[in-house]
Amino acid sequence: MYKGKSVPLYKTNLMKCYNLIILTFFFASCSSPVAKEESSVGFDYFGDTLDISSVVEINEITNEMRAGKDSVYATFSAPINSICQKKGCWMELDLGNGENALVRFKDYGFFVPMDATGEIAMVEGAMTIDTLDVDWLRHQASDAGKSDSVIASINTFEISYSILATGVALQKKIMNEESLQLEN
């Protein structure tokens, strides 16, 4: 140490404290930042991954359409009213005014879970106003499990909002012990 001289005890304790403080700051600066509450919510993605931070309410998009735009490309959220019960290849979103918007998936490239009715969907895609012909409406009713008499009673086209989605995000479902036991 110091050529035969002993270091006083208070100096060694002071050095230990100093080193402990330095190590504490070092490890504290290397730790990851605390996650924001909104990022703690997980999502399941179907199709392209969405930027959840840019989501707007669907009524903002329909207002742009009513103002005269032919189509609006955006990321928006809305409750799911119904889903194709054969594959999950289309869904209808509640516009909040008694109307629905039909969502189909780009290039028939992905599907959504058939049990997601009632959930809030985050959807990225282009909204347009579309004419849904009788054949499509009957096909849609069949996929939704409607009776033959209901399907046969469809005889006129509908004009509706239509969305071609490139991606959909649904909040991950939290599995509790009871639901895990039901699956097994």
Asked whether the beta carbons of 33 and 54 are under 8 A apart, the reply is: no
| Beta bridge partner(s), residue 104 | 90, 164
d(CA 140, CA 133): 11
Domains by residue range for the chain, with CATH: 42-171 (2.40.50)
- Rounded mean pLDDT, 17-37: 45
C-alpha angle 114-119-122 in degrees, rounded to nearest 5: 100
| pLDDT computed for residue 3 by the predictor | 56
What integer pLDDT is reported at residue 128 of this predicted model? 95
Q: Are 108 and 117 in contact (CB under 8 A)?
A: no
- What predicted TM-score, i.e. pTM, was given to this entire model? 0.70
pLDDT in tens, 133-174: 999 999 989 988 889 999 999 999 999 999 999 999 999 877
Q: What is the DSSP letter of 15?
A: H
Residue percentage of the chain with pLDDT more than 90: 57
**Residue range 11-23, pLDDT digits in tens:** 555 555 455 555 4
- 92, 101 contact by CB (below 8 A): yes
Tokens found for residue 64: 């742009």
The rounded distance, in Å, linking the Cα atoms of 49 and 52 is 9
- Integer Cα distance of 69 and 67 in angstroms: 6
Q: pLDDT tens-digit profile of 99-114?
A: 999 999 999 999 999 9
* DSSP 8-state assignment for residue 33: P
**What does R_g of the chain's alpha carbons equal in angstroms?**
28
Residue 28, pLDDT score: 45
pLDDT of 52 reads 86
pLDDT in tens, 38-88: 445 689 999 999 988 889 988 889 899 999 999 999 999 999 999 999 999
Return the DSSP state at 118.
T
Q: How confident is the model at residue 90 (pLDDT cuts 50, 70, 90)?
A: very high
Reduced to 3 states (helix: H, G, I; strand: E, B; else coil), residue 3 is coil
What is the structure's pLDDT at 40? 53
